[in-house]
Amino acid sequence: MVHSQACSSSRILGGILAALALFFLYHTSWNLPQFDLGNQKPVMSTIAGLKLSISHTPNSSPPEIVAAVTNDNAFPVSILKYESPLDPLVLALGLLQITPDGADAPLDLPKIAVRRVWPPTRDQLVTLEPGESQQNPVPLREQVVPPDNLSGELSIELKGRWQAVWSKRKEDIDDSSLENPNISPEVERGEYTTGKIKVHF
Protein backbone atom coordinates (compact mmCIF):
# COMPACT_ATOMS: atom_id res chain seq x y z
CA MET A 1 0.00 0.00 0.00
CA VAL A 2 2.74 2.42 1.03
CA HIS A 3 4.69 1.22 -1.98
CA SER A 4 1.91 1.90 -4.53
CA GLN A 5 1.20 5.33 -3.02
CA ALA A 6 4.85 6.22 -3.52
CA CYS A 7 4.56 4.95 -7.08
CA SER A 8 1.51 6.98 -7.99
CA SER A 9 2.82 10.17 -6.42
CA SER A 10 6.05 9.81 -8.36
CA ARG A 11 3.96 9.27 -11.50
CA ILE A 12 2.02 12.43 -10.71
CA LEU A 13 5.26 14.31 -10.13
CA GLY A 14 6.60 12.97 -13.43
CA GLY A 15 3.47 14.14 -15.18
CA ILE A 16 3.77 17.61 -13.70
CA LEU A 17 7.43 17.83 -14.74
CA ALA A 18 6.59 16.73 -18.29
CA ALA A 19 3.82 19.34 -18.49
CA LEU A 20 6.19 22.03 -17.24
CA ALA A 21 8.85 21.01 -19.74
CA LEU A 22 6.30 21.18 -22.57
CA PHE A 23 5.10 24.55 -21.35
CA PHE A 24 8.65 25.97 -21.32
CA LEU A 25 9.43 24.48 -24.73
CA TYR A 26 6.34 26.13 -26.15
CA HIS A 27 7.00 29.36 -24.38
CA THR A 28 10.61 29.52 -25.60
CA SER A 29 9.65 28.81 -29.16
CA TRP A 30 7.25 31.75 -29.06
CA ASN A 31 10.14 33.96 -28.03
CA LEU A 32 12.35 33.14 -31.01
CA PRO A 33 13.37 36.14 -33.18
CA GLN A 34 10.29 37.93 -34.29
CA PHE A 35 9.56 38.99 -37.81
CA ASP A 36 7.69 42.07 -38.79
CA LEU A 37 5.36 40.55 -41.37
CA GLY A 38 4.03 43.99 -42.26
CA ASN A 39 6.98 44.75 -44.51
CA GLN A 40 8.57 41.28 -44.75
CA LYS A 41 11.77 42.42 -43.03
CA PRO A 42 13.44 40.80 -40.02
CA VAL A 43 13.27 43.33 -37.19
CA MET A 44 16.95 43.20 -36.24
CA SER A 45 18.69 43.20 -39.62
CA THR A 46 19.44 46.81 -40.44
CA ILE A 47 22.51 47.30 -38.26
CA ALA A 48 23.99 44.01 -39.51
CA GLY A 49 23.71 45.46 -43.02
CA LEU A 50 25.85 48.50 -42.18
CA LYS A 51 29.41 47.67 -43.22
CA LEU A 52 32.27 49.57 -41.62
CA SER A 53 35.77 50.27 -42.78
CA ILE A 54 38.66 52.30 -41.52
CA SER A 55 41.81 53.33 -43.34
CA HIS A 56 44.75 55.69 -43.23
CA THR A 57 45.17 58.45 -45.80
CA PRO A 58 48.84 58.24 -46.88
CA ASN A 59 50.92 61.45 -46.75
CA SER A 60 48.18 63.47 -45.09
CA SER A 61 49.06 66.36 -42.85
CA PRO A 62 47.92 66.24 -40.13
CA PRO A 63 47.81 62.42 -40.27
CA GLU A 64 44.32 61.29 -41.15
CA ILE A 65 42.18 58.21 -40.56
CA VAL A 66 38.99 57.76 -42.56
CA ALA A 67 36.02 55.83 -41.20
CA ALA A 68 33.33 54.78 -43.66
CA VAL A 69 29.86 53.28 -43.43
CA THR A 70 28.23 51.49 -46.37
CA ASN A 71 24.56 50.62 -46.41
CA ASP A 72 24.41 47.02 -47.69
CA ASN A 73 20.69 46.84 -46.99
CA ALA A 74 18.20 46.86 -49.86
CA PHE A 75 16.44 49.89 -48.37
CA PRO A 76 17.46 53.39 -47.23
CA VAL A 77 18.78 53.74 -43.70
CA SER A 78 19.06 56.80 -41.46
CA ILE A 79 21.72 56.96 -38.77
CA LEU A 80 21.88 59.30 -35.83
CA LYS A 81 25.44 60.66 -36.03
CA TYR A 82 26.04 60.80 -32.27
CA GLU A 83 28.72 58.20 -31.37
CA SER A 84 28.34 56.54 -34.77
CA PRO A 85 31.37 56.06 -37.06
CA LEU A 86 30.13 59.22 -38.85
CA ASP A 87 30.34 61.40 -35.74
CA PRO A 88 32.84 64.25 -36.30
CA LEU A 89 33.80 63.83 -32.62
CA VAL A 90 34.87 60.14 -32.74
CA LEU A 91 38.42 61.03 -31.68
CA ALA A 92 37.44 63.42 -28.89
CA LEU A 93 34.92 60.89 -27.56
CA GLY A 94 37.60 58.21 -27.28
CA LEU A 95 35.94 55.90 -29.83
CA LEU A 96 39.10 55.62 -31.92
CA GLN A 97 41.73 53.41 -30.33
CA ILE A 98 45.29 53.67 -31.60
CA THR A 99 47.84 51.06 -30.49
CA PRO A 100 51.47 51.67 -31.52
CA ASP A 101 53.50 48.70 -32.71
CA GLY A 102 54.67 46.71 -29.69
CA ALA A 103 52.51 48.62 -27.17
CA ASP A 104 50.21 46.44 -25.13
CA ALA A 105 47.44 49.03 -24.71
CA PRO A 106 45.92 51.77 -26.84
CA LEU A 107 47.23 55.33 -26.39
CA ASP A 108 45.56 57.13 -23.55
CA LEU A 109 44.23 60.10 -25.51
CA PRO A 110 42.46 63.08 -23.97
CA LYS A 111 38.67 62.72 -23.97
CA ILE A 112 35.93 65.27 -23.68
CA ALA A 113 32.43 64.91 -22.32
CA VAL A 114 29.85 66.34 -24.69
CA ARG A 115 26.27 67.26 -24.10
CA ARG A 116 24.27 66.38 -27.14
CA VAL A 117 21.00 67.99 -28.14
CA TRP A 118 18.31 65.51 -27.08
CA PRO A 119 15.98 64.55 -28.55
CA PRO A 120 18.10 64.83 -31.70
CA THR A 121 17.11 67.08 -34.55
CA ARG A 122 16.62 65.75 -38.06
CA ASP A 123 19.86 67.40 -39.22
CA GLN A 124 21.82 65.09 -36.88
CA LEU A 125 20.73 62.16 -39.06
CA VAL A 126 22.47 60.85 -42.17
CA THR A 127 20.47 58.91 -44.74
CA LEU A 128 22.29 56.29 -46.80
CA GLU A 129 20.53 54.94 -49.88
CA PRO A 130 21.02 51.21 -50.66
CA GLY A 131 24.68 50.69 -51.57
CA GLU A 132 25.64 54.23 -50.59
CA SER A 133 28.72 54.97 -48.47
CA GLN A 134 29.63 57.93 -46.40
CA GLN A 135 33.08 58.78 -45.09
CA ASN A 136 34.19 60.51 -41.94
CA PRO A 137 37.73 61.89 -42.20
CA VAL A 138 39.34 62.07 -38.75
CA PRO A 139 42.39 64.33 -38.55
CA LEU A 140 44.82 63.19 -35.83
CA ARG A 141 45.82 66.66 -34.66
CA GLU A 142 49.11 66.82 -32.80
CA GLN A 143 47.44 68.44 -29.79
CA VAL A 144 45.46 65.21 -29.40
CA VAL A 145 47.75 62.46 -30.71
CA PRO A 146 51.51 63.00 -30.17
CA PRO A 147 53.15 62.68 -33.62
CA ASP A 148 55.93 60.57 -32.00
CA ASN A 149 53.29 57.90 -31.40
CA LEU A 150 52.32 57.75 -35.07
CA SER A 151 55.14 55.87 -36.74
CA GLY A 152 55.63 52.43 -38.17
CA GLU A 153 52.86 49.87 -37.95
CA LEU A 154 49.90 50.78 -35.77
CA SER A 155 46.69 49.03 -34.95
CA ILE A 156 43.54 51.14 -35.07
CA GLU A 157 40.00 50.29 -34.09
CA LEU A 158 36.84 52.33 -34.05
CA LYS A 159 34.20 51.05 -31.69
CA GLY A 160 31.09 52.44 -30.14
CA ARG A 161 27.34 52.17 -30.16
CA TRP A 162 24.74 52.97 -32.76
CA GLN A 163 22.47 55.27 -30.76
CA ALA A 164 19.62 55.14 -33.26
CA VAL A 165 19.18 53.64 -36.71
CA TRP A 166 15.97 53.82 -38.77
CA SER A 167 15.17 51.68 -41.82
CA LYS A 168 13.91 54.64 -43.86
CA ARG A 169 14.93 58.07 -45.16
CA LYS A 170 15.19 60.78 -42.56
CA GLU A 171 12.35 62.81 -44.06
CA ASP A 172 10.07 59.77 -43.66
CA ILE A 173 10.67 59.38 -39.91
CA ASP A 174 7.68 60.39 -37.81
CA ASP A 175 8.18 63.25 -35.37
CA SER A 176 7.06 60.93 -32.55
CA SER A 177 9.86 58.46 -33.31
CA LEU A 178 12.45 61.23 -33.54
CA GLU A 179 11.26 62.76 -30.28
CA ASN A 180 11.88 59.56 -28.36
CA PRO A 181 14.24 57.25 -30.23
CA ASN A 182 14.94 55.24 -27.06
CA ILE A 183 11.44 53.81 -26.94
CA SER A 184 10.51 53.96 -30.60
CA PRO A 185 9.83 50.41 -31.88
CA GLU A 186 11.25 51.29 -35.32
CA VAL A 187 14.66 52.27 -33.95
CA GLU A 188 17.60 49.87 -33.76
CA ARG A 189 20.53 50.36 -31.41
CA GLY A 190 23.65 48.30 -30.78
CA GLU A 191 27.40 48.00 -30.58
CA TYR A 192 29.68 48.32 -33.55
CA THR A 193 33.38 47.78 -34.18
CA THR A 194 35.66 47.92 -37.18
CA GLY A 195 37.89 45.30 -35.56
CA LYS A 196 41.61 46.00 -35.19
CA ILE A 197 43.13 47.11 -38.47
CA LYS A 198 46.89 47.40 -39.08
CA VAL A 199 47.95 50.62 -40.78
CA HIS A 200 51.40 51.85 -41.73
CA PHE A 201 52.45 55.40 -40.92
Ligand X SMILES: *[C@@H]1O[C@H](CO)[C@@H](O)[C@H](O)[C@H]1NC(C)=O
Binding interface with ligand X (CB under 6 A): 100, 103, 107, 146, 148-149
**Measured from the CB atom, is 157 or 186 closer to ligand X?**
157
Q: How far is the CB of 156 from ligand X (least distance, A)?
A: 13
What is the smallest separation between the CB atom of 196 and ligand X, expressed in angstroms?
A: 15
Residue 199 C-beta-side C-alpha neighbours within 13 Å: 23
3-class DSSP state for residue 127?
A: strand
Of 68 and 107, CB closest to ligand X:
107
CA 89 to chain centroid: 17
State the nearest-atom distance from the C-beta of 154 to ligand X, in Å: 9
Sign of CA dihedral 134, 177, 117, 145: negative
Given the complex with ligand X, which of 148 and 175 has the nearer CB atom? 148
Please tell me the distance from the alpha carbon of residue 51 to that of residue 193, in angstroms, as a whole number.
Answer: 10
Contacts of 75 (CB under 8 A, 6+ apart): 41, 130, 167, 168
Choice between 63 and 85, CB closer to ligand X: 63
